[in-house]
C-alpha cells in the first residue's frame, strides 16, 4: 500500500489497506528538529506512524532536506521505516502520537500504548465490548470511542480506566480530546453517521463531517449550527480539519476539498 506524505515522496509501506496515520506536524519547519551530523546541514528529522487492516503499525523516521537544484528553501521529504509494532489481532483503526507515546486502537476492542523511543509495548487497555474506532490523547491520558457506544477515559501511567461515559445510543465513530473537552461523533442524533470532527476550545467552534456528504460548523457552547456546506463532496466524508483560514475535508469521492474563508465568509467565526 502507498502513502503520499508530500508532493516529493510516496512511501511503499508493505501494509495492506492503510487505515490511519499520524506524523509530527510541521517537523520540517522547527529548528529544534535540525540534525547536527556532518553533511546533513539543513536536514530536519520527524516521525510518523501508519496503521493497517493487516493489524500492523509501521513506525517511520521522516527527513526533510534541501531539494537538489532548488533555491535552498524548498524541502524534499524522505522516510525510513524504523520498525513494525505487532500485537493487535484486528485492523488498526486510529492512532495518536506524543513525544512519549504511540497509541493504537483496533477492531479487536483493545487500545495499545507503545513507548515512542524504544517501541516497546507499555500497556494494553481493555474494557470495550466493540471495536475501538477512535482515540484521543493528552499527556498521560487517553480517551477511546467504541462501536459499543461508550467512551472511556484511561490513565496511561497506571494502565487503568478512570471513567466510562455513557450517553450515545449507537456506536461512536470519532472523538477529539483537548483541554477539558471531549467531543464524540455518532449517528444517534443525525440522519447519517458523523464520521469526523475537529474543534478549537478557544473559539468554541467545532467542524464535523458526515456520511450525509455535508460539512457543518457548530458553536460548541450553544449547540447551534452556524454554517453548512452541502456541495463539497459527492460521497461519504472521512476526515475534516480546520484553522482560522480554511476547512480541509477528505472523502470517499477521492477528493480533498479546501474551503477558504478569505473570500466572502466571515473569518471572525474562528477568531
Residue 236 lies inside a defined structural domain of this protein: no
**Rounded Cα distance, 268 and 217, in Å:** 13
Residue 224 has which C-alpha cell?
Answer: 447551534
Band of residue 13 on the pLDDT scale cut at 50, 70, 90:
low
Residue 207 lies inside a defined structural domain of this protein: no
Residue 81 lies inside a defined structural domain of this protein: yes
Residue 206 lies inside a defined structural domain of this protein: no
Whether residue 162 has pLDDT greater than 50:
yes
On whether the CB atoms of residues 106 and 90 are closer than 8 A, the answer is: yes
Q: To which residue does cell 474562528 refer?
A: 270
**Domains of the chain: total:** 1
pLDDT of residue 1: 46
Residue 123 lies inside a defined structural domain of this protein: no
Domain that holds residue 81: 1-86
pLDDT of residue 212: 94
Residue 65 lies inside a defined structural domain of this protein: yes
**Rounded Cα distance, 157 and 185, in Å:** 27
Q: To which residue does cell 546541514 refer?
A: 41
State pLDDT tens for residues 240-269. 999 888 999 999 999 999 998 765 555 555
State pLDDT tens for residues 47-98. 999 999 999 999 999 998 887 765 656 778 888 999 999 999 999 999 999 9
> Which region among 36-45, 151-160, 205-214 has the lowest average model confidence (pLDDT)?
36-45
Q: Give me the DSSP letters along 202-228.
A: TTTEEEEEETTS-EEEEETTT--EEEE
Mean pLDDT for the stretch of residues 16-43: 86
Residue 195 lies inside a defined structural domain of this protein: no
Residue 210 lies inside a defined structural domain of this protein: no
Amino acid at each position: 500500500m502507498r502513502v503520499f506524505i508530500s508532493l516529493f515522496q510516496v512511501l511503499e509501506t508493505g501494509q495492506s489497506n492503510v487505515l490511519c496515520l499520524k506524523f509530527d506536524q510541521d517537523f520540517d519547519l522547527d529548528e529544534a528538529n535540525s540534525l547536527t551530523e556532518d553533511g546533513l546541514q539543513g536536514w530536519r528529522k520527524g516521525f510518523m506512524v501508519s496503521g493497517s487492516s493487516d493489524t500492523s503499525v509501521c513506525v517511520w523516521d521522516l527527513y526533510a532536506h534541501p531539494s537538489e537544484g532548488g533555491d535552498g528553501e524548498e524541502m524534499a521529504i524522505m522516510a525510513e521505516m524504523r520498525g513494525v509494532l505487532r500485537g493487535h489481532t484486528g485492523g488498526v483503526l486510529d492512532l495518536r502520537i506524543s513525544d512519549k507515546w504511540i497509541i493504537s486502537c483496533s477492531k479487536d476492542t483493545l487500545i495499545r500504548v507503545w513507548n515512542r523511543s524504544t517501541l516497546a509495548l507499555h500497556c494494553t487497555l481493555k474494557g470495550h465490548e466493540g471495536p475501538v474506532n477512535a482515540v484521543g490523547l493528552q499527556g498521560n491520558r487517553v480517551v477511546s470511542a467504541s462501536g459499543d457506544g461508550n467512551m472511556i477515559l484511561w490513565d496511561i501511567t497506571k494502565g487503568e480506566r478512570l471513567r466510562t461515559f455513557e450517553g450515545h445510543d449507537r456506536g461512536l465513530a470519532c472523538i477529539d480530546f483537548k483541554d477539558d473537552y471531549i467531543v464524540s461523533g455518532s449517528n444517534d442524533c443525525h440522519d447519517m453517521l458523523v464520521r469526523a470532527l475537529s474543534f478549537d476550545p478557544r473559539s468554541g467552534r467545532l467542524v464535523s463531517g458526515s456520511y450525509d456528504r455535508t460539512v457543518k460548523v457548530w458553536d460548541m457552547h450553544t449547540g447551534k449550527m452556524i454554517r453548512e456546506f452541502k456541495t463539497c463532496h459527492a460521497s461519504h466524508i472521512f476526515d475534516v480539519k480546520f484553522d482560522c483560514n480554511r476547512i480541509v475535508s477528505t472523502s470517499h469521492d477521492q477528493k480533498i476539498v479546501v474551503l477558504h474563508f478569505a473570500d466572502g465568509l466571515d473569518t471572525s467565526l474562528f477568531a
